């Protein structure tokens, strides 16, 4: 299940629905990415996320397909927000389900690395000191390199 939208993300509700969808799995891992109020410079009021459809969705779907081929996961879910997202709100939710825990952990980790460094989004941070476009950092790229 993949959704890129301006709708708020309710991680708890998504996890509940995912549990039903993944019935029979033994291990579910979820990741919630939340907009922090502390940024590189000053306090964050909100982020603005821009996507380019359908390239954004196609790329995430391809990453989900790759995860399914690399690990024996039975279900995967990615929901990502675009538009204006306030500090404290959830920007991304990923869940993976498999028979055993290792596949779920690794697939969720892999999907997040994709989303942070390769997914087609542009991110603008509005802080009390002004606006700035944020691009992935070195640690994000290093994380993503682990799966090559």
Give contact residues for a second copy (rule: CB under 8 A): 11-13, 15-16, 19, 23-37, 88, 99-102, 104-105, 108-109, 112, 116, 139, 143
**Cβ atoms of 103 and 91 closer than 8 Å:** no
User: Least CB distance from residue 54 to a second copy, whole Å?
Assistant: 26
The beta strand positions in the chain, using DSSP E, are 2-5, 27-34, 44-51, 73-81, 83-86, 90-98, 121-127, 130-134
**Cβ atoms of 105 and 111 closer than 8 Å:** no
Q: Which is nearer to another protein, 25 or 115 (CB)?
A: 115
d(CA 59, CA 41): 31
Q: Give me 83's structure tokens.
A: 């538009």
120 scored as a contact of another protein (CB under 8 A): yes
Size of the site for another protein (CB under 8 A): 27
73 scored as a contact of another protein (CB under 8 A): no
Q: What share of the chain is helix, strand, coil (3-state, %, to 5)?
A: 35, 40, 25
62 scored as a contact of another protein (CB under 8 A): no
115 scored as a contact of another protein (CB under 8 A): yes
User: Least CB distance from residue 144 to another protein, whole Å?
Assistant: 10
Residues contributing to the site for another protein (CB under 8 A): 33, 49-50, 52, 54-55, 58, 80, 91-92, 101, 112, 115-124, 133-136, 140
């Amino acid at each position: 299940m993949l959704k890129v939208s301006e709708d708020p993300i309710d991680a708890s509700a998504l996890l509940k629905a995912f549990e039903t969808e993944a019935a029979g799995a033994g291990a579910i891992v979820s990741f919630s990415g939340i907009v922090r109020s502390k940024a590189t410079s000053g306090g964050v009021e909100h982020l603005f996320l821009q996507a380019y459809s359908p390239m954004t969705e196609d790329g995430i779907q391809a990453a989900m397909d790759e995860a399914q081929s690399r690990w024996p996961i039975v279900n995967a879910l990615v929901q990502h927000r675009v538009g204006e997202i306030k500090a404290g709100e959830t920007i991304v939710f990923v869940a993976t389900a498999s028979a055993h825990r290792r596949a779920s952990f690794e697939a969720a980790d892999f999907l997040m690395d994709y989303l942070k460094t390769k997914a087609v989004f542009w991110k603008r941070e509005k802080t009390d000191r002004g606006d700035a476009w944020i691009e992935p950092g070195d640690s994000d790229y290093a994380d993503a390199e682990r799966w090559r």
